[in-house]
Structure 1
Amino acid sequence: MRRSPWATLTVLALAQFIVVLDVTIVNVALPHIQTDLGFTPDGLQWVISAYTLVFGGFLLLGGRAADLLGPRRVFVAGLVLFGVTSLAGGLAGSPGLLIAARTVQGLGGALLSPAALGILTVTFPRGRERNIAMSVWGGLAGLGGTLGVVAGGFLVDSLSWRWVFIVNVPIVVALVAVTPLLVPHIKPHAGNRSFDLLGALLATGGLLAVVYAVVRAEPLGWSSAEVVGCLAGGVLLLVAFVLVETRTDAPLVPMRLLRSRALSSSGGAIALTGAGFLSMFYLTAIFLQQVRGDSALRAGVEFLPMGGAAIASAVLATPLIHRFGTRPVQTAGTLLGAAGLLLLSRADATGAYASQILPGTVLFGIGIIAVSVPAQIAAVVEVKDTDAGAASGVFTAFQQVGGAVGLAVVTTLATSRTTHALTTGATQSDALVAGFHRGLLIAAAFCAGTFLVTLFFSPRLAPTADQIAGAAAAA
């Protein structure tokens, strides 16, 4: 049966769309989730972190599973898991149940996303058609991030926060139904049939332990036995992960890739950038609603200019990289991102949106993409074609994991500042503003770290148009 490659692309791009959508759509629902389920301020960040940590930790394993078991089979399995856990999240009656659902949902995303990309690259031959397909794929993913905040606001205000999860279910059912008809079966790879499941479990378990310790440090103190024990256990698991990766025949993260200066510096830069992005999104969504009194829908609409700025930045980034190279564009992006966060950190409870919120979010939207696009290109442009997919997977894992760890640090310190302000007699609104300001300053510090990594460690690459197109195809 001959299938239209463009129909295949539609199914794959819609699946990726809901994976990206699920990060941003949840943010505007956080205040309502906190009130309804009784989340503590330091526990609320797990609604985001549980998803991103598991997604990043198992992303490379998902790609390996797609190679060995067949990408369409893994794609459908990931879709089903994503849909079932979306329903479970929407029906959750306690913080623990919601976090558990989000954790497994991240695993579903980690299975379907690399499988979808693998199908896409086989369906479209290298060249013009693949470039068009990748543009559609990337464009819909970006659109998912931009529209997610508005869709989330509309669902929360019109129905309830539960619908930001339940809305995935009919989409997943439809995609699962049409996949056998529109997506071709691709034979699994022959050769080494081993999975590095142990590596994925060690890496994700270690990162979860470290993030848990950071979050618990605010109420318990850094010297408490629970915090010290979790930190030590997390570090030991991560050390064990590195040892396993150097000894296994099919490593989750080929250590030779990390010896590439371009990939390792790009990974460090995108991890710090992800930390700044998730923190800014999380803090601002809560600030707009709990401090400024916006509805969920209005908060979502107020994020739209940032999404538009990011899309414009993505369009401009490629010709600028072709003309000036990766490092100058990335350096400029870090400065714009940091400037946006510093501007946003001056916002208060009553100031005008146009003067206090809009400039910072627009600058940040431009800057974040001006960092990520050249970093993505630099991550894969120097590796062999056979390693391009693995390098891209490592890069994306750095982004997700960095975002989750950074969010834990920022929310812990922001909550600490809010708590201290309340104990000294500040009003609830003033205390939340104080925590918001501290959190954004720490996020700006992450951008400063990106600037230093880019300036001192990133090579100045001048990729050709063909190399840029190839990097986009591996993204």
Structure 2
Amino acid sequence: MIDPPEPGRHGRRAVAVASATQMMVVLDGAVLAIALPRMAGDLDVGTGSLPWVMNAYALPFAGFLLLGGRIADLVGPVRALRTGLAVFAAASLGAGLAPSFGVLLACRVFQGLGSALLSPASLVLLTRATSPGTERERAIAVWSVTAAIGASASALFGGLLTQTLGWRWVLLINVLIAPALFAAGRGAAPRWEPDERRPKGLDVPGALLFVVAFAGLDLAATVDGGGSQTLRSALAGGVAVAALAALVVTERRVRHPLLPLRLLRSPRVAYTNAAAVVLLAGTAATGYYTTLYAQDVAGLAPLTTALCMLPGTVAGVLTSRNVPRLAVVLGERNCRTMGPVLVAAAQFGLAGCERAGAPFGALVPLLVVLSIGSSIAVITLTSSATRSLPSHQAGLAGGLITASGQSGGSIGLAALTGVAAAFTAAPAASPHAGASAAIVHQVGVALPLGAALALVATVLARRIPLGAESGLPENAGHRPAPRNVRP
């Protein structure tokens, strides 16, 4: 067994590197949203294809997160983090220089693969370089808050770069940031040694089945009313169901399962991850449609759009820092369920304002409420997922909760935009004309559906048990070898 980390020796540097890495990962997942209108014009892409810029990143990110967490547990957080940074930087360079939409999507896939290694590795780095107790709790709080800042600041950062340097620099900026983190990562944690509690194998078939299942669900959720598209959705849904069935069989039989099915028997784990899936599915389309509304309907420039979203950014950051205090004042369960309720209320309000063609300034207070609710929900769910688990299970726990959110967001974006487009396909559906009319009408469908999902997430979050559980069994993720099989 490895020795516990030396308090204070590596902690501050590890917290800084891990938090900055997670901020970059979260930021890059959302930062392109505000650049989509400019990107569509530059690459001659229709509005219906734009969600795939986000999903091409989110699908491999979600699908390989658990494998990334297992790799970080096996080879050590520093090695995993530096490998992920190299892949992420190379993919960012290719995406920033992409001559076509297809090349851009391919590079976004590799960005997602790099992020799938970076995110869990950063969490393992924290747990490896900090001592259990107060020091580790503070480190995880900083990591969570920094990620929330990255998500909140994505609009401002993307708008600034898009308007001043062009949308390509939203991607190329990573080529400057990643090498700095690569250099800082060296020596950010104590020397890595094997731990007998960690499973020694990699469940690559399980990871591939995860990706196939997520991609199939994503394609199946994209509905636009056409006959050929309906057939494609049905086939994709069938592939997704088959992949999920094969995944269950694989995880039961493989010696080192990527996702131990016994883990899902824990009420805390099951309800926490279910709430994350549903909540992120419900909010996925909100930022997408708000950005299109601001630029294509209200006629705002990218930087002006970002500045209008700045109050929400600030509110989200301030809320993130004070969520632990809020949980003490209101109670753990009340705080956990308040976030999705605020999200639902904001989405209903945004739908009404945008459907009525209100000026974008009228949306700002609702965006503030949305940001506050999202910050409360994400931080409380992350805390619930990782609180009671020992350090050697941090990669699995962190990968699972992040995969839940990413998969929910990816599938939700495809489903809500697809359903909205299908329900507004008729020319007489709106008295307005043109692309802006389509956006306005789709908002009236997608955002109320998202708000309804947020309310479902409220119910799931309410059912998360109070207090801490004992975590996974010590041998979770390890299945003893059958007696008739040679090791």
TM-score normalised according to structure 1 size? 0.89
Counterpart secondary structure, 1:93:
coil
CA distance in 2, matches of 1:146, 1:92: 27
Residue type of the partner of 2:169?
W
- Are 1:95 and 2:101 counterparts? yes
Alignment of 1:205-354 (within 5 A): 205-215=212-222, 217-218=223-224, 220-221=226-227, 224-348=230-354, 351-354=358-361
Residue type of the partner of 1:180?
R
Does the CA-based 8 Å contact 1:53-1:207 persist in structure 2?
Answer: yes
Identify if the C-alpha distance between structure 1 residues 71 and 335 changes in structure 2 by more than 3 Å, giving closer, same or farther.
closer
Identify if the C-alpha distance between structure 1 residues 324 and 462 changes in structure 2 by more than 3 Å, giving closer, same or farther.
farther
Identify if the C-alpha distance between structure 1 residues 142 and 324 changes in structure 2 by more than 3 Å, giving closer, same or farther.
closer
Alignment of 1:372-451 (within 5 A): 372-381=378-387, 387=393, 389-421=395-427, 426-428=432-434, 429-451=436-458
Residue type of the partner of 1:73?
R
Alignment of 1:43-82 (within 5 A): 43-82=49-88
Aligned residues, how many? 460
Match of 1:471 in 2: none
Counterpart secondary structure, 2:398:
helix
What displacement does 1:321 show? Answer: 2.6
CA distance in 2, matches of 1:183, 1:389: 15
**386-395 or 268-277: bigger deviation:** 386-395
**124-133 or 391-400: bigger deviation:** 124-133
What displacement does 1:325 show? Answer: 3.6
CA distance in 2, matches of 1:120, 1:278: 28
Match of 1:115 in 2: 121
Identify if the C-alpha distance between structure 1 residues 338 and 289 changes in structure 2 by more than 3 Å, giving closer, same or farther.
same
Identify if the C-alpha distance between structure 1 residues 416 and 47 changes in structure 2 by more than 3 Å, giving closer, same or farther.
same
Does the CA-based 8 Å contact 1:324-1:462 persist in structure 2?
Answer: no
Match of 1:473 in 2: none
Identify if the C-alpha distance between structure 1 residues 344 and 236 changes in structure 2 by more than 3 Å, giving closer, same or farther.
same
Structure 1 portions without partners, runs of 5+: 468-475
Does the CA-based 8 Å contact 2:277-2:408 persist in structure 1?
Answer: yes
What displacement does 1:183 show? Answer: 5.4
Structure 2 portions without partners, runs of 5+: 1-7, 472-487
Counterpart secondary structure, 1:359:
helix
Match of 1:23 in 2: 29
**323-332 or 248-257: bigger deviation:** 323-332
Residue type of the partner of 1:85?
A
CA distance in 2, matches of 1:125, 1:64: 21
Q: Deviations 1:214-251 (Å, cap 9, x if unpaired)? A: 22x31534884322211101110111112111222211
CA distance in 1, matches of 2:393, 2:136: 18
Alignment of 1:172-187 (within 5 A): 172-180=178-186, 184-187=190-193
CA distance in 2, matches of 1:450, 1:92: 38
Identify if the C-alpha distance between structure 1 residues 5 and 109 changes in structure 2 by more than 3 Å, giving closer, same or farther.
same
CA distance in 2, matches of 1:11, 1:186: 17
Which of 432, 454, 464 aligns to 2:461? It is 454
TM-score normalised according to structure 2 size? 0.87
Which of 33, 45, 61 aligns to 2:39? It is 33
Identify if the C-alpha distance between structure 1 residues 259 and 210 changes in structure 2 by more than 3 Å, giving closer, same or farther.
same
Does the CA-based 8 Å contact 1:345-1:436 persist in structure 2?
Answer: yes
CA distance in 1, matches of 2:41, 2:342: 35
What displacement does 1:317 show? Answer: 2.8
Does the CA-based 8 Å contact 2:203-2:257 persist in structure 1?
Answer: yes
Match of 2:161 in 1: 155
% same residue: 33
Identify if the C-alpha distance between structure 1 residues 299 and 30 changes in structure 2 by more than 3 Å, giving closer, same or farther.
same
What displacement does 1:423 show? Answer: 7.4
Aligned-pair RMSD on alpha carbons? 2.6
Match of 1:369 in 2: 375
